[in-house]
Chain A
Amino acid sequence: MEKIFTSGNRGEGVRSDCYVEVVPGKDPLKVQLKSKVSSLYGQHIQKLAFHVAEALGMVRGLIRIDDQGALDFVLAARLEAAIQQENNNDKEFLLPIREENLQESPKRHPRITRLYLPGNTPKLMINAGVHSPAGIILDLEDSVAPAKKYEARFLVRNALRSLSFYGAERMVRINQMPAGLKDLPHVIPHGVNMILVPKCESAQQIQLVNEQVELLKQKHDIRRNIWLMPIIESAVGVIHAWEIASAAENVVAMAIGLEDYTADLGTSRSQDGKESFMARSQMVNACRAAGIQPIDSVFSHVDDQEALRWNVIESKQLGFEGMGCIHPRQIAVIHKAFAPEPEELEKALVIRNAYIKARAQGQGVIAVGSKMIDPPVIKKAEQQIQLAINAGILDPKTLNENTNN
């Protein structure tokens, strides 16, 4: 009997996904669709399936689709992953890319929260942006089972092109080096803003990633910046933090992954985090020395929002500028806890207004009351204001009014 090629998911709890089976054969192509939305999208899905098959050069055999309300970007990814296991050619089926997904993200994008999305679970991707994280991470690494790595690349690629994340920075965590290099062709030409390099241990790994990124950018004529965020997750990585942080111009932030790091130390994460204090502090120091953003690890107790809040307060005190999130409900807590205290914000606004006023009047020296204000203080004030806006405690509209006064 001939082999059947499959992709996608089915069974209990599977939603917004589908399971595709490709049965090679000699008869002209046939598509069998079983879908919970067939009376509303059945014809459309049939058409899409033929369309994908044709684009990939499949004209014979049978495609079976078991659909649980998958959107087109999911259907197309599942179809392509199954068909290409048989075909194995270099053809692609690409849905149009959203205009907004071609935008570069700012170098100093406030990376306070980044929401991890397992790269092979479409239902978590679709609404991710509505929770307003600063960034989303389509993860190809630890959250994808080894057998699903192949199909996840197609899904992540399609998600990058088709989904709106409502202004969140679009990141992809590739696999650990060197396997991660093979992920890059699936993401670089498709609107990714930032690549996360997991378990990073040396500057050389960053250079290897960048060589590939440059090649792909040239091949696809991409001019926008694609940023890198190495993740330090080992004792060696911590020792090399400074080299990694300063390895390349496009390294704009660096994160620490404490689950793996503490395992590497032969311990585990504790409530007060004593075991990782040196590493975290060293991370912040290395990042500041390199002029990039230090980003803290995820907090894994999803249900304990109060513990999360304390964790963020400590993180902020250590000098971190952001944290990873494994659940959307963590986002607001982190934004709030990173936000300045009311007195801090008040002070920041006074400094900002004094600066704007002084500039408008052409004054070189800026003073608040009898105090002179230095450029780093102004920069700090701007940061505080941005944090407050992100946390939703300051309305940017009122800020403009202040500026006009």
Chain B
Amino acid sequence: MARYDKLVRNAAGRSVPCLINGEEHIPYKGVGKHRPVGRRYGPPLSSCADYPADGDKRVPTLREALIRAGLKDGMTISTHHHFRNGDLLANQVFDIAHREGVKGLRWFPSASFPCHEPIVSHIQNGVIDRIEGSMNGPLGKLASEGGMAGVGVLRSHGGRYQAVQDGEVTIDIAVIAAPQADPFGNANGVNGEAACGLLGFALADAQYAHKVIVVTDNMVDFPCIPWQIHGNWVDYTVKVEKIGIPEKIVSGTTRITKSPDRLRIAELTADFCDKAGIIRNGFSFQSGAGGTALAVGQFFAQTMKERNIKARFIRAGSNKYPVKMLEEELTDYILDGQTFDLEGVRSMRENPNHVDTSPFTSYNYHGKGNFASMVDVVMLGATEVDVNFNANVVTHSDGYLLHGLGGWQNCLFARNTILPVPLFRDRIPVIRDEVTTLCGPGQLIDVVVTERGIAINPRRNDLVKKLENSGLPLKSIEELKKEAEEICGKPEIPDLDDQIIAVIKWVDGTVLDAVYKVKPG
């Protein structure tokens, strides 16, 4: 039985279903065009009379907590991804569900990682109907080859908050892994063996889930300070032996790239920003934790030191590099959504100017504004960009769904959005006639920087004008595409099935594109 129906062509020209997993969805209308009316979703009222007056909400095991929370077929279970590839909790939740004979669950993680490979068996044995969240590595491969019963739904970090807040997704049980908590449920990410910095991705879950379980391996007496998650939202608390693998939570592998080609891309990007007048006193920027993005930050730091310039804030994913900039007073603040290494965790714990943020503050479509659009320049990755500057970040050119959206779509709203990408990867051109999967509309993408030249979106006439005599290697996006195809050859069109295995949501909850099944080679 088809799990989707009512295909329409949306405003981006992509064919998308309006009926997905039995629920009605709205096709994408354009950037800033969708204005839903109504009220925010509200979870059932609770009464403090139902909770222990001494604040002790501990139950002995995770299993018991899940059962008390009413775990049953078809529920939506959420987890967060602050533990990244060191998460030990999500797999346990579904192992328990499996043992209890529960079927047809919707897993609603803020992201998944390769450590969640065991979930594959729970998709195959029917415990999980579908994942609504990123599908990385083995899970993406499984979904791509048609191995998931329901249709996957990919949302940005902001889109996840939006979907929870407007009731598109109702979370039955939220399981929040916390590096430190007290029996009442107050919790934080800065203290303890499994310290991950903050718990912002679990904020929507805490606020809107019907039942909230906080699990920790580091239970302290009330009060747990700081209380990034308020115990007042929490139903049950559980102490376990171990909730995460510290070295995989803060991998420390996010280092500045040593690849000369990527360093060149980073250097060109920084040079572009400098010559475009973006690097100035009081500016702000965001770049990811990838090797190239970190290198851009370092080139920014060099320029700032040379000119005695200071940023007002850095939006991060933080690790030791932005932390160093904060400590060298190259920026007033770090506004941090997740920490990637121990330096990031330490800084967040010790430095009041290293501030934890959440998808609510940074990205939420239903917020009365959010931070993303207040950033001067953001550097983002992409697997593909087309000649209209539309970009893809979730599928590879062979059709496989291998990455999540993260905050990528939300960040596109920065004043200047730059994609520093290689012109081709292992023969596969990054710049294409059309992207395999549309994740970001070209109107929001301003510049593509490759090792062989920089293309400015013609919509940004101001940048075109400003940079025309800069001496930078400016080319049109078509020229870059041609150059890539001269080197690599024109790629064949991959033979994809017409069955939809997942959809891509836009930041406002509308359906932007569909991901198709891959015929296994």
Instruction: Report A's interface with B, CB cutoff 8 A.
Output: 15-16, 36-44, 68-72, 126-127, 130-131, 327-329, 395
Contacts and interface: CB of A to CB of B under 8 A. Distances in A.
A70 B427 contact: yes
Most chain A CB atoms below 10 A, which of B260, B263, B425, B451? B260
Interface stretch (B98-106, B238-246, B331-339, B490-498): B490-498
Given A15-B426, A39-B398, A126-B487, A44 B492 contact: yes
Contacts of B399: 39
B427 A39 contact: no
B427 A130 contact: no
A93 to B, nearest CB: 17
B492 A71 contact: no
A37 B487 contact: no
Given A127-B451, A130-B264, A131-B264, A36 B495 contact: no
Nearest to B422: A127
A395 B399 CA distance: 45
B452 interface: yes
17 contacts: A15-B426, A36-B426, A37-B426, A38-B521, A39-B492, A40-B398, A41-B488, A42-B492, A69-B426, A69-B427, A69-B428, A71-B488, A71-B489, A130-B261, A130-B452, A131-B260, A131-B264
Nearest to B496: A39
B261 A44 contact: no
B492 A43 contact: yes
Contacts, number: 60
Nearest to B398: A39
Interface string B363-405: 0000000000000000000000000000000000111000000
A329 B495 CA distance: 41
Contacts of B398: 37, 39-40
A44 B427 contact: no
A37 B398 CA distance: 8
Interface in B248-302: 260-261, 263-264
Contact of B260 (A44, A69, A328): A328
Contacts of B13: none
Provide the main secondary structure of the chain B interface: loop
Report, nearest first, the 8 A-B pairs whose CB atoms are least far apart. Answer: A69-B426, A328-B260, A40-B491, A39-B494, A69-B427, A39-B398, A127-B261, A130-B451
B492 A16 contact: no
A42 B519 CA distance: 14
Interface residues of B, number: 22
B52 interface: no
B471 interface: yes
Interface of B: 260-261, 263-264, 397-399, 425-428, 451-452, 471, 487-489, 491-492, 494-495, 521
Given A40-B494, A71-B488, A395-B471, A329 B263 contact: yes
B95 to A, nearest CB: 33
Nearest to A126: B487
Nearest to A75: B427
A40 B426 contact: no
Contacts of B489: 41, 44, 71-72
B487 A71 contact: yes
Given A16-B426, A395-B471, A41 B264 contact: no
Given A72-B489, A127-B451, A40 B260 contact: no
A36 B494 CA distance: 13
B240 to A, nearest CB: 36
A39 B492 CA distance: 7
Contact of A39 (B425, B426, B487, B495): B495
B491 A68 contact: no
A38 B398 CA distance: 9
B386 to A, nearest CB: 15
Contacts of A328: 260-261, 264
B261 A68 contact: no
Nearest to A115: B260
A39 B398 CA distance: 6
A28 B439 CA distance: 47
Nearest to B429: A40
Contacts of B471: 395
Contacts of B487: 71, 126
